[in-house]
A = this chain, B = another copy of it.
Amino acid sequence: MGEFELIRRYFAAASCARAGEGVALGIGDDCALLALPPGEQLAVSTDTLVAGVHFPEACESFLLAQRALGVAVSDLAAMGATPIGFTLALTIPSADPAWLQGLAAGLDRMAQACGVRLIGGDTSRGPLCLTLTVFGRIPAGQALTRSGARAGELLCVGGYPGEAAGALPLVLGQRQAAAEIAEPLLARYWAPQPQLDLGQALRGKATAALDVSDGLLADCGHIAKASGVALLVEQARLPLSPALVALVGETMARDCALSGGDDYLLAFTLPAEHLADLQAQGWPIHVIGRVEAGQGVQLLDKQGRPVTPPVRGYEHFRSDGD
């Protein structure tokens, strides 16, 4: 059996794992076919992860696959979409059965957690690189875009930002920590859980949303630009992860929360009247600031004075000089 036949077998198994609501024809033909309920639209997003740029070359294939799919599906969460399926374009330098088995298992773990099914793909020999394209469905007109924020609304985030960036020294083996500190941080990095339920709960309530991949301040900048508003981030309201503070201290934890990437938490703007209901339903929503007329993102210190933070896009595992 050729190596690529082996790959097809692993992925064929993964693609059959679930019934796949919305998938009319799965892997194995020239195209997959997706069927949408009447009145729904299809949400589509593509993400590429390159070895040595987005993840360490030597990382375990199980972890890599789990993270890659979580990151990709997070874009569906950010639109408020219900996941359907994904395609995987994989290039690998060689086909090691144990490595591939780990990859298939990691994909399967995250696919089950997210309710998606592998519907197609392409495998090539080449430098290690994964491109995932994810598909979800959403009632027409209810998608959470980046462009609807209005002055007077609240700026919110769906958890503790910064944990993934704080985990990077642990990921790279540059640092050790006690299990109760290291494990939640490493899990945030290696198994980001797309906030799908939160995204769907925000339909019809949040006016703009995205998932934080490049850093909270940088990503808030995308909402500010698309909506034509200013976003004020209040340092006093920024929630800090206890595990992160325990690992790196409060100052560095705040830097990670403001500028670290890879968290894949939702950041969104919300008219104030929706806050109490959503919090009462148990959603982990932290108000971190507000929307005003103007443009750009402004960080306010604990006294409410503007500060000039180092607002730069997080450059993932390795700076690429961009």
- Chain A binding site: helix, strand, loop or mixed by DSSP? strand
Structural contact, B125 and A127, CB atoms closer than 8 A: no
Identify the closest chain B residue to A141 (Cβ).
B24
With an 8 A cutoff between CB atoms, is A91 at the interface?
Answer: yes
Q: A50-B126, A76-B31, A127-B127 are in contact. Are A140 and B89 (CB under 8 A)?
A: no
List B contacts of A52 (CB < 8 A). 126
Structural contact, B50 and A42, CB atoms closer than 8 A: no
Structural contact, A33 and B133, CB atoms closer than 8 A: no
A146 to B31 alpha-carbon distance, docked (Å)? 10
Within 8 A of B (CB), among A291-322: 320-322
List B contacts of A143 (CB < 8 A). 25, 31, 33
List B contacts of A49 (CB < 8 A). 124
Please state the number of chain copies in the assembly: 2
Q: In which size bucket is the chain A interface? A: 35 or more
A226 to B147 alpha-carbon distance, docked (Å)? 46
Structural contact, A30 and B75, CB atoms closer than 8 A: yes
Structural contact, A89 and B25, CB atoms closer than 8 A: no
Structural contact, B76 and A140, CB atoms closer than 8 A: no
Q: Which among A114-122, A161-169, A238-246, A271-279 touches the partner chain? A: A114-122
A25 to B48 alpha-carbon distance, docked (Å)? 21
Structural contact, B226 and A54, CB atoms closer than 8 A: no
Q: Mark A61-104, 1 if CB is under 8 A from B, else 0.
A: 00000000000000110110100000111110000000000000
A210 to B322 alpha-carbon distance, docked (Å)? 41
Q: A24-B140, A33-B143, A146-B30 are in contact. Are A48 and B322 (CB under 8 A)?
A: no
With an 8 A cutoff between CB atoms, is A44 at the interface?
Answer: yes
A135 to B121 alpha-carbon distance, docked (Å)? 14
Structural contact, B126 and A126, CB atoms closer than 8 A: no
With an 8 A cutoff between CB atoms, is A215 at the interface?
Answer: no
Structural contact, A44 and B48, CB atoms closer than 8 A: no
Q: A46-B122, A120-B46, A131-B131 are in contact. Are A34 and B30 (CB under 8 A)?
A: no
Set B2, B45, B47: member contacting A32, Cβ < 8 A: B45
Q: A29-B145, A29-B210, A46-B121 are in contact. List 7 more A-B contacts (CB 8 A).
A: A4-B322, A30-B146, A31-B136, A33-B79, A48-B131, A50-B126, A87-B133
